[in-house]
A and B are shown apart, each in its own frame.
Chain A
Amino acid sequence: MAVPRYWREIPQRYNLVGTKCGSCGKIYFPPKVVCPTCRRKSLGHMEDCALAGRGTVESYTIIYAPPPHFEGEEPYTMALIKMDEGCYLMGQVVDLEPQEIHIGLRVEACFRRIYEDGTRGAIQYGYKFKKMEEAETP
């Protein structure tokens, strides 16, 4: 990914900053300029809103044949996660053996290295997920 794009998306990638519709209150990630439900009414009323980082695995897949920049990490788990705020997002679940993943698993965001552009390029960081610590499970 080009450095300018990575830089533009740092709030999302580091801190899960999405948007909240000032009209209906729905939270979106990634951020939206307009709420698809409220449309014109939401214009100018979409506010930044950082997700708390907690969610539940809704579905998952295990990657055995990764794209080039992720070779060496396989097998790894990608999950569709329903965040506690109601929006869905896709993320890698780390520090977990592939057989440990299951639908309904409570997860929380963590900060990891996502991708590096060779040995000379920039290193890109962002969110991944891990199993929620027991004491913090509701």
Chain B
Amino acid sequence: MATVGIAGYGAYVPKYRIKADEVARVWGKKGEAVSAGLMVYEKSVPAIDEDTATISVEAARRAVRSSGINPVDIGAVYVGSESHPYAVKPTATIVAEAIRATPDMTAADYEFACKAGTAAIQTCMALVKSGMITYGLAVGADVSQAAPGDALEYAASAGGAAFILGGDHLIAEINHTVSFTTDTPDFWRREGEPYPGHGERFTGEPAYFRHVVSATKKMLEAMDTRPGDYDYVVFHQPNGKFPLRAAKKLGFTKEQVQEGLLCPVIGNTYSGSTPLGLSAVLDVAQPGDRILATSYGSGAGSDSFDLTVTEGIADYPRNHLRRMLENKVYLDYALYMKHRGALK
């Protein structure tokens, strides 16, 4: 079977943040209690002129620049998001044009709640393996929406990451991918509605945990590996607690999760969540490190990936994500509403 893996990656997190404390103050809740309950302390907020397209472009440009890959060799661009700026008109064409990969290529937008980005990675892997393309660009990005006062408002944030998939110049080989998918209506947004609805506690056991745990178990079985065989593990992060609980259920340690756990400081970036977690891990990984990443998208499904970091990582320009995490400006709730109001 032909080798396939990550030839480049790039991440983007907007500069603005709001603290969970500030959201709690407005709604008469105790910030400390909310933060302790969700393990979310602050979240990223897009600038007034940022949306899923601009975040995707910034992440994709970083991936192209860092990898040194000629964008003309990118034969497919897929952007996964649940907050595409247009209902009809692809975000992927904007991204492709902005990295100068057009016109000899294919493109499309994906939507699968929070796992559209990893679905895009799988599609690119298949196209590379089949020989249809040399390189493919997969992006997961969101400027997620939450109804004012809803529990989601403490976490719904903005950010994204882009991956260039290919067969050579790899910084990490993808050894295998598996998925676990069922029809589970735990979270949704109807056409034309500004905010999503969800099934409260139903989003836990039958939704997030069943899919994340099942996909990861399937991966361990398929690869004949044990949790201890991995240096890092990344799970989708709707809050800070769920990925740690999933890790515990599966026998992974807190230390394996820690490096890729960004939700406590940037919130839930939806389609950007697992891709950003994986980017944070790649920022520190060493050649030979083994990574397991499992996404989750409501509705519901999980995609799991088993990766081995290659020698190529040594020369790859890294750590820009850490810089973005540290370079931040806090907004109060009023300014946060202003930032959010300009976006769709």
CB < 8 Å neighbour of B323 from A95, A112, A133 = A133
Sort chain A's interface into a size bin: 20 to 34
CB distance from B51 to the nearest CB of A (A): 6
A15-B98, A15-B100 as given contacts; A113 in contact with B323, CB under 8 Å: no
Task: Give the most central of B47, B57, B342, B344: most A CB within 10 Å.
Answer: B47
Give chain B nearest CB distance to A36 CB in angstroms: 27
Task: Identify A73's interface contact among B48, B100, B323, B344, CB under 8 A.
Answer: B48
- For B323, what are the chain A residues with a Cβ–Cβ distance below 8 Å? 133-135
Asked if A110 contacts B58 (CB within 8 A), the reply is: yes
Q: Which residues from chain B contact A125 at a C-beta distance below 8 Å? A: 53-54, 57, 94, 98
A33→B316 CA distance, assembly (Å): 39
- Take A123-B85, A133-B323 as given contacts and tell me if A113 and B50 are in contact as well, using a CB distance cutoff of 8 Å: yes
Flag if B54 contacts A94 (CB, 8 Å). no
Taking CB atoms, residues of chain A closer than 8 Å to B86 are 123
Contact residues in A for B53 (Cβ distance below 8 Å): 113, 123, 125
User: A residues 80-138 with Cβ under 8 Å of B?
Assistant: 94-95, 110-114, 119, 123, 125, 128, 133-135
Q: What residues of B have a CB within 8 angstroms of the CB of A65 in the complex?
A: none
Interface residues of A in 1-55 (CB under 8 A from B): 10, 14-15, 50
The verdict on A72 contacting chain B, using a C-beta distance below 8 Å, is yes
Q: Are A111 and B61 in contact (CB under 8 A)?
A: yes
Q: Given A95-B15, A133-B323, A135-B323, are A113 and B97 neighbors across the interface (CB < 8 Å)? A: no
Query: Can you name the residue of chain B whose Cβ is closest to the Cβ of A72?
Result: B342
User: A133 to nearest B CB, angstroms?
Assistant: 7
CB-CB contacts of B319-335 with A at 8 A, as 1s and 0s?
01001000001000000
Q: Which residues of A contact B (CB under 8 A)?
A: 10, 14-15, 50, 72-73, 94-95, 110-114, 119, 123, 125, 128, 133-135
With A73-B49, A134-B323, A135-B323 already in contact, 4 other A-B pairs whose C-beta atoms are closer than 8 Å: A73-B48, A111-B54, A123-B85, A123-B86
